[in-house]
Structure 1
């Protein structure tokens, strides 16, 4: 790893490490960003497209039945001649179903099929772990999403909101015309959609409010839930998809259901029907002709500042791999990662857990009782590395119907959706599966699941600059070591700390320790809140959980690096800054500031090292340097 200018680090670590790269880095026209994470995504895309194109062309034969079904679907996605010839035809039966709706009784009758097909509805049901008893799957009822990415975009004075809605309206009017509506009909549908969307906005949470996981758990007795609507028989709808009689329904957005009748009622039925049509067309245009696919990206590209849509080849790749994600992930994991690397990284994770455990055991601000429970939670932490041991059985049911069998891209997607949702609802009341992966192995990311108390590291992130045998141990700890410890820290951030070793929402803290932790969390909020970035400001409350995890991750990884014979803290901090290199459009950065629970990449790179005393000695940071933070301002939690 190249040495960096120490004087430059004193002013800005991120710029000192990434400045030369930033001068020459170009954001591809079909991207909204480029950099560390995105470079890996692009490399994996190139590798897998090469492999799958060879299989689609018949020069390589897939080696398992599920991969064969995936390649059949990939061929359909790539066949734009056929997709263009089909035009909007595949979506017309779904649109006609909505068009023909006469009243709520009619909707009631069709509701089970629509729930299974995943068609737009003014609420949705799903199944996930019961947050108070995570051994069992419970029923959840969800509010619909809004057109704009966060409810704050609807606030008076938010200048982005009206501009984005105008782009959305123009796009949807054109898309609806391509499905056969006259221009005035299309405009009426869009006007009604915007009106119905506004009815939802007051009763849903902002991104900041949603960032508090504990507020998701709002159990309601089933009998009370079914009385939510005066116009739909929610009990009959539930019984049509659930085999049994739930005691409770969990409502992450309780206010929406408290005001359900104000939104979903006969006076608004026409608005709701048109909203359903617009949502349907927006959701599924990407599976139709190339013209509709490209047009349907207009709004999302305006949101992110992406100049051009993906080309046909890439769009087909992402459409197909998104549908068969775990099949593709297993292929990638076995071919490009393998069992040896899986075992090696698993050992590295265990090593980081051991470091974390030692740090907990000597922690000075936790009482003995809370500390013992924290260690118990750490001992029970599940580890998933690389790729799953087996494919979920639902993927064995995915059989692609070719055009000769009457199939097209959309009909297959709807069929797969139905199978997946039937499978999900069949799990209600049954034991949760703690081995299930929620990311595919080809995903450049990692996660901690608070309901399962597991950390997951897909194969795709386990490569340079995060991890490589070519890098020093310190560089690896500054990359993948900090990522691993970051995910461990999520078990003890302001959200994870609310869940016990089994993933249950259960307070295991003494009152004094909880109060002290909340004060430390406030310090982290203050450290980031209001920082200027991309013409806007960071929301410290929205990003606090990730910032706590970054702080714990970097501190723990540094301790591990110092335990190695070849310790080089300059390489450690340099690689930490390098993995966060990112060049992005202003629109994308501002979007992330509004909705992302992570702080901007540059601030993640720069702010967290300031909390570590060794950063100052490593680079001789002095009080008059820009990177200096007074000792009493340094936030130390884990």
Structure 2
């Protein structure tokens, strides 16, 4: 449950463009961002520009400068993990060696797949297959048990699809007709680059698409997956294992975690209802090709420049990105992705610090206090549910800036400078997989962060009942000492309250103060909350955008969080010594500044749980009475919504 999705970057600052005051009552987003949008251009290696991406781009520029000093010896590593990052970053940048290695480092893995003659061959090495992170028709992983988050559970899931969402496979979806040929061309080219002849490559890609098409009817759409609670479908391991006679999951688990749990969790149970019909000897050639093609595509980004360019073709078509990132930027992205928490520790300590961490924590506590008062004064919850909601809020864990220490996993990431880049990334992947499996039987580590400190985002974790604000988002336009309190509340205040609101959105509200899936509502309160949620669905559902329409069910949780966050931040802004609600609403609209390719906007409409940025800016403010008085919004104005249609939940 994150505050936002991200594309790439932006080229101009927020403060350089005037607000059109005459249009604030007609289209808030356009009045605030219209002048910027007129001159904004999307860089060729990006699918969007603006808003959050200003910060992403600025951090990238800062860290690339710092890491150039690191490579030159002008900046000394602060710790052993940073020393290994330095080696890996240098290796990522060495395209001369990457080009010389070509596809050679990948060949042993392709041979491993090629040597499979049947499911029996795959089953004989299934545990090692999982350890290596190779594609498999059944996915497994360890995560906290949603009904008892003090311990870990085993999740057994379906593989991902080629197209972005199940809905793309509908006969009347034109996007598939455009995207699948791009995928086909890319995958076929990559296979010829690793040594297969054209006919063999074409056949394997066709078989890959055939197996993918068999999977598609049995997995969830993004809308279905957005109902987080419905991920929890426990089944006996014996029942899941009996669904197919081709793979012995129990034996593999005994090898991997030295245990065979009585039950496992199926996020997509319908897939396992069908898996016996999918994994047949007749389909084995399809599965084999599917595994091989997925392996080559996954490796393309860490091989030579030719592989990197070709392997990104499909992703660029999905997002409308016209060209690949430069070698320098791609190397930076690769290295900082593998060493994300190490880089985050560096960024947080150098550019944020303990003093700022303490200050921002106080801000979050203040916002939580405002939220608690709103719960106390809530006029539609019963006293019993209201009391439990306040208990949940008081138990909320707050994480700000960066973790106190680097995750011990990264101490194992030692770089072999004599090996290839691919070999090093493969070993890191295997270490991360082994670390995940090692959680089995251990208490849940609630100190772990799911984001690094240099990530421009924030999130709420329902299973931990925690809100997390990485250092990178704690800067202008979200927060700055140079901004007024009203501006800061319209920025970081809304972010903070947004994440708090996730504890009480349609998903988070079903988890208790310990993060366990547990209904703490009275029947009447829950029924009323569901009615309010339906009103939020209706408010967004069907709004035309980018030639398509918004899916209110897909975006409901984030829209509830936006509504609660903005409303709570507004109350906090009004309690300050100096109040300027115009600045509050203008900064709210400003943080959503974004210009995207049509392809990227349409992709997000299909898969993203967030509404489009323009609508996040415009629709939510229509629910707030203070917006109408601040900008004298009257019936007939573009920003007017009749009082009976205004949605107010938190």
TM-score class, shorter-chain normalisation, is over 0.9
Choose the corresponding residue for 1:223, options 218, 221, 238.
238
Partner Cα distance (2:75, 2:224) in 1:
50
- Post-superposition Cα deviations, 1:1-50, rounded to whole Å, max 9, x if no partner, equal 78734321011000000011001111111000011111110100001111
What is aligned with 2:577? 565
Partner Cα distance (2:213, 2:20) in 1:
53
What is aligned with 1:354? 369
Q: How does 1:266-415 map to 2 (within 5 A)?
A: 266-403=281-418, 407-415=419-427
Partner Cα distance (2:92, 2:21) in 1:
51
What is aligned with 1:89? 104
What is aligned with 2:260? 245
Partner Cα distance (1:451, 1:234) in 2:
26
What is aligned with 1:502? 514
Asked if structure 1 preserves the Cα contact closer than 8 Å seen for 2:250 and 2:260, the reply is no
Partner Cα distance (1:495, 1:508) in 2:
13
Residue 25 of structure 2 aligns to a residue whose secondary structure is helix
Partner Cα distance (1:589, 1:623) in 2:
31
- Post-superposition Cα deviations, 1:553-598, rounded to whole Å, max 9, x if no partner, equal 0000000000001111000000000000000000000000000000
Q: How does 1:167-246 map to 2 (within 5 A)?
A: 167-246=182-261
Higher mean displacement: 495-504 or 225-234: 225-234
Partner Cα distance (2:388, 2:421) in 1:
51
Asked if structure 2 preserves the Cα contact closer than 8 Å seen for 1:69 and 1:398, the reply is yes
Residue 58 of structure 1 and its aligned partner are, at CA, apart by 2.6
Note if 1:113 corresponds to 2:128. yes
What is aligned with 2:612? 600
Runs of 4 or more consecutive aligned structure 1 residues displaced over 3 Å after TM superposition? 1-6
Asked if structure 2 preserves the Cα contact closer than 8 Å seen for 1:173 and 1:186, the reply is yes
Partner Cα distance (1:592, 1:443) in 2:
20
- Post-superposition Cα deviations, 1:249-286, rounded to whole Å, max 9, x if no partner, equal 00001011111111112111111000001100111100
Residue 542 of structure 1 aligns to a residue whose secondary structure is helix
Choose the corresponding residue for 1:536, options 548, 573, 576.
548
Residue 456 of structure 1 aligns to a residue whose secondary structure is strand
Residue 419 of structure 1 and its aligned partner are, at CA, apart by 1.0
Residue 59 of structure 1 and its aligned partner are, at CA, apart by 3.0
Note if 1:146 corresponds to 2:191. no
Residue 60 of structure 1 and its aligned partner are, at CA, apart by 2.4
Residue 143 of structure 2 aligns to a residue whose secondary structure is strand
Asked if structure 1 preserves the Cα contact closer than 8 Å seen for 2:92 and 2:421, the reply is yes
Residue 468 of structure 2 aligns to a residue whose secondary structure is strand
Residue 398 of structure 2 aligns to a residue whose secondary structure is strand
Asked if structure 2 preserves the Cα contact closer than 8 Å seen for 1:243 and 1:426, the reply is no
What is aligned with 1:162? 177
- Post-superposition Cα deviations, 1:526-570, rounded to whole Å, max 9, x if no partner, equal 000000111110000000000000000000000000000111100
What is aligned with 2:276? 261
- Post-superposition Cα deviations, 1:54-112, rounded to whole Å, max 9, x if no partner, equal 21233322121000001101111000000001111111111010001111221112211
Residue 180 of structure 1 aligns to a residue whose secondary structure is coil
- TM-score for the superposition, normalised by structure 1: 0.99
Choose the corresponding residue for 2:626, options 598, 603, 614.
614
Choose the corresponding residue for 1:425, options 433, 437, 445.
437
Note if 1:548 corresponds to 2:560. yes
Residue 125 of structure 2 aligns to a residue whose secondary structure is helix
What is aligned with 1:56? 71
Partner Cα distance (2:342, 2:262) in 1:
36
- Post-superposition Cα deviations, 1:278-330, rounded to whole Å, max 9, x if no partner, equal 10011110000001101111000000000010010000000111001100100
Q: How does 1:447-466 map to 2 (within 5 A)?
A: 447-466=459-478
Partner Cα distance (2:313, 2:18) in 1:
43
- Post-superposition Cα deviations, 1:214-240, rounded to whole Å, max 9, x if no partner, equal 110000112212212111111101111
Partner Cα distance (2:69, 2:639) in 1:
51
Higher mean displacement: 26-35 or 111-120: 111-120
Residue 160 of structure 2 aligns to a residue whose secondary structure is coil
Residue 243 of structure 1 aligns to a residue whose secondary structure is coil
Note if 1:42 corresponds to 2:57. yes
CA gap of 1:469–1:499, structure 2 versus 1, over 3 A, is same
Asked if structure 1 preserves the Cα contact closer than 8 Å seen for 2:253 and 2:259, the reply is no
Note if 1:516 corresponds to 2:531. no
What is aligned with 2:148? 133
Residue 213 of structure 2 aligns to a residue whose secondary structure is helix
- Post-superposition Cα deviations, 1:449-502, rounded to whole Å, max 9, x if no partner, equal 001100000000000000000000000000000000000000000000011101
What is aligned with 2:447? 435
Asked if structure 2 preserves the Cα contact closer than 8 Å seen for 1:530 and 1:538, the reply is yes
Partner Cα distance (2:118, 2:20) in 1:
70
Residue 429 of structure 1 and its aligned partner are, at CA, apart by 2.4
What is aligned with 2:7? none
Partner Cα distance (1:258, 1:190) in 2:
26
Segments of 5+ residues of structure 1 without an aligned counterpart are: none
What is aligned with 1:527? 539
Partner Cα distance (1:231, 1:225) in 2:
12
Choose the corresponding residue for 1:588, options 573, 585, 600.
600
Instruction: Give the number of equivalent residue pairs.
Output: 635
Segments of 5+ residues of structure 2 without an aligned counterpart are: 1-14
Asked if structure 2 preserves the Cα contact closer than 8 Å seen for 1:175 and 1:295, the reply is yes
Choose the corresponding residue for 1:65, options 65, 69, 80.
80
What is aligned with 2:45? 30
